[in-house]
């Protein structure tokens, strides 16, 4: 095994592929603290600039998995399947999706994260529900999957400790965008959680982490390849995130909209993406027949029942009223015509500035702040019609939020060309 971290850095700096021994030496050493942050930062930058070969990346991902525990889901008594989204604005799909797929007969172990920057975090959204708790022990996760069929919770510190260290380092060294490091970060955690199958929702458009289709496609292909290499049945859908998904953006507002979907309503785009992902998950889990038809299960109330059971199992009250902001403020159409664009990233930044998001992991978030999209691209508007409704409790946050929305609402004489919700499928 290599004993010199400088050799590891030089190999990648000069465009070489790291050997299995070099990868294992680095991941073990950095996790244990025997490799310094500045040396790890140098290697991350070299990976960003020089890339990684598929076999090299598979070894890197395995070493990250091996840095901690791996969840054993063999006792849950159902086929296991999970979903991961690369994040977007108004992307509350996990909330209706996990109970929907569980109601179809699968076990859904959704280990989720918190929001950072303009994209929201699933745990922040659920914490708007009175009493709900994000942190569960591994035994609690397995028991809830067996009893309820779905769990959405924080990842245990025991899973992939190497990823936590590398993620924090990448955030402060301008190496977040390295596709091999994004892919291994996501897939190491999903593989370590023990799921047998995985559906990836890779967002593309202005509100996505990777706005360009070629990079979103490459990330999807890389993650699907890693899943296959590690024995996890994996499919990716590349989905649109140029405008906010659904109408609500912000923690409590998104929970309310997710429940609306589970009750058989909700915005068409949110329902369509949820059902598309659910169908992929049910197929990968090997379930079929009328009892495993996501559209039918959503319509007849079975998914709503699982949602309520899932929330109660984690201490929440699904019937409790959600927090409501003290103030609302409209953002109006600048002219008459068709709404041609509602920039997702701008809306996400505005919602973040209203208090729904955070700049640092330790920042608190508001459960009631956010925005409602009263109009979506393609809708007809008159000058002065409200397009967005901002929700806030702190009046000092309104000015910065409005500044983020300058130029975000575009109106023209013709409707925009429709964008497909499901851009590509990669398997």
Catalytic residues: 82-85, 122, 170, 185, 189-190
Looking up tokens 């330790």 gives 362
Q: Which value, in Å, is the radius of gyration of the alpha carbons in the chain?
A: 22
CA–CA gap between residue 102 and residue 150 (Å, rounded): 6
Q: In what order do the strands lie in the sheet with 422-426?
A: 81-85, 197-204, 233-240, 422-426
Q: How far is CA 99 from CA 55, 81, 128, in A?
A: 35, 12, 18
E strand map for 79-133: 81-85, 108-112
**Which secondary-structure segment (H or E) carries 383?**
none
Give the ranges where 233-382 is alpha helix by DSSP (H). Answer: 251-262, 268-284, 294-299, 302-313, 344-351
140: how many CB neighbours lie within 10 A of its CB? 15
C-alpha distance from residue 345 to each of 8, 75, 108, 174, 182 (Å): 38, 42, 29, 20, 20
Cα–Cα distance measured from residue 82 to residue 50, given in angstroms and rounded to the nearest whole number: 31
DSSP codes of every residue in 120-155? --HHHHHTTSTT------HHHHHHHHHHTSEEEEEP
Annotate 341-361 with DSSP letters as a single string.
EE-HHHHHHHHIIIIIS-SST
For residues 30 and 152, what is the distance between their CA atoms, to the nearest angstrom?
29
Q: Where are the alpha helices (DSSP H) in 151-250?
A: 161-171, 179-192, 213-229
Percentages helix, strand, coil for the chain, rounded to the nearest 5?
45, 15, 40
Is 277 exposed, middle or buried, given 0-12, 13-18 or 19+ CB atoms closer than 10 A? buried
Query: Is the CB of residue 238 less than 8 Å from the CB of residue 204?
Result: yes
Euclidean distance between CA atoms 415 and 423, whole angstroms: 20
């Amino acid at each position: 095994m290599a004993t010199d971290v400088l050799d590891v850095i030089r190999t990648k700096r000069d465009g070489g592929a790291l050997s299995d021994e070099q990868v294992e030496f680095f991941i073990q050493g950095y996790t244990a603290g025997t490799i310094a942050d500045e040396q790890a930062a140098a290697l991350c930058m070299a990976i960003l600039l020089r890339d990684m070969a598929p076999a090299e990346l598979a070894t890197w991902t395995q070493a990250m998995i091996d840095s901690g525990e791996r969840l054993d889901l063999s006792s849950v008594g159902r086929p296991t399947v999970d979903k991961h989204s690369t994040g977007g604005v108004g992307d509350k799909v996990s909330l209706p999706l996990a109970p929907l797929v569980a109601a179809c007969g699968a076990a859904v172990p959704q280990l989720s994260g918190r929001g950072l920057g303009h994209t929201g975090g699933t745990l922040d959204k659920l914490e708007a529900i009175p009493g709900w708790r994000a942190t569960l022990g591994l035994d609690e996760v397995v028991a809830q999957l067996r009893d309820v069929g779905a769990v959405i919770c924080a990842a245990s510190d025991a899973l992939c400790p190497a990823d936590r260290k590398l993620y924090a380092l990448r955030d402060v060294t301008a190496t977040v965008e390295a596709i091999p490091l994004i892919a291994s970060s996501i897939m190491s955690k999903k593989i370590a959680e023990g799921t047998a199958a995985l559906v990836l929702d890779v967002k593309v458009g202005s509100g996505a982490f990777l706005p360009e289709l070629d990079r979103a496609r490459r990330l999807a292909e890389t993650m699907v390849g890693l899943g296959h290499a590690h024995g996890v049945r994996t499919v990716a859908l590349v989905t649109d995130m140029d405008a906010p998904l659904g109408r609500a953006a912000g923690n409590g507002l998104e929970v309310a909209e997710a429940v609306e979907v589970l009750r058989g309503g909700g915005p068409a785009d949110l329902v369509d993406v949820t059902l598309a992902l659910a169908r992929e998950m049910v197929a990968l889990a090997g379930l079929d027949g009328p009892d495993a038809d996501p559209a039918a299960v959503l319509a007849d109330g079975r998914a709503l029942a699982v949602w309520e059971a899932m929330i109660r199992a984690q201490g929440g009250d699904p019937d409790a009223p959600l927090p409501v902001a003290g103030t609302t403020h409209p953002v109006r159409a600048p002219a008459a015509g068709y709404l041609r664009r509602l920039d997702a990233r701008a809306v996400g930044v505005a919602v973040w500035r209203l208090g729904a998001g955070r700049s640092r992991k330790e920042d608190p978030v508001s459960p009631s702040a956010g925005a409602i999209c009263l109009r979506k691209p393609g809708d007809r508007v008159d000058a002065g019609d409200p397009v967005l409704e901002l929700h806030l409790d702190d009046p000092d946050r309104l000015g910065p939020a409005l500044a983020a929305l300058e130029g975000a609402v575009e109106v023209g004489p013709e409707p925009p060309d429709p964008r497909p919700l499901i851009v590509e499928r990669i398997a």
